[in-house]
Structure 1
Amino acid sequence: MKINKQIKVSGRVQGVFFRKSTQQKALELGIKGWVKNEPDGSVLVEMEGNLSAMMEMEEWLRNGPLLAKVEFLEISDGEVFNHADFLILR
């Protein structure tokens, strides 16, 4: 069963290859959706996939790539949109 989550990642998460690294991890796990920078300095991720992949992705987001310093995740469940890919939105 596919689930959808939106996760707002706060901390030092812009300018540290967070979006590209998130896309690579999502594709590795078979997760679909998107990632984008927000004006407040956070990164917003919408992702869809099976429960085990989503749990692994959520755990990865708690740390992010090497140069990131994740301080907080704000997680909400969403409606499944059946995204076709995992995109970096500008």
Structure 2
Amino acid sequence: MGDNDRQKAVQARMHGKVQGVGYRMWARREAIRLGLVGWVRNERDGTVTASIAGADAAVSTMIERLRQGPRGASVSRVKIEEFELLDAPIDFRIIV
């Protein structure tokens, strides 16, 4: 098992102007493009949470993209927590 095969799972919480700017649809597109699985949802406090899992390098790339966000978003902070991947979803979905 090489480095490329290393799997990683993180939960990311984005703070700033991240709701009402298409952040979830954008995040889903980016995650699918990178071959990641997981979910993204709006939180009541105005943040957006994403759970992402996949190849180590792809997860790292996604975290960088989450820090940027889509056009119209203004991400002030991203809090990342790693977790153990037990039951990985088979796709990437928006949770409402």
Q: Shared fold (TM-score greater than 0.5)?
A: yes
Aligned residue type for 1:23: R
Secondary structure at 1:56 match in 2: helix
The alpha-carbon deviation at position 82 of structure 1 amounts to 1.6
Question: Which is higher, the Rg of structure 1 or of structure 2?
Answer: 2
Summarize the alignment of residues 1-90 of structure 1 with structure 2, pairs less than 5 Å apart.
1-80=6-85, 81-90=87-96
Secondary structure at 1:4 match in 2: strand
Calculate the TM-score normalised by the size of structure 2.
0.92
Listed as ranges, the gaps of 5+ residues in structure 2 are 1-5
Q: Aligned-pair RMSD on alpha carbons?
A: 0.6
Calculate the TM-score normalised by the size of structure 1.
0.97
The alpha-carbon deviation at position 3 of structure 1 amounts to 1.0
Percent identical among aligned pairs is 37
The runs of 4+ residues in structure 1 deviating greater than 6 Å are: none
Listed as ranges, the gaps of 5+ residues in structure 1 are none
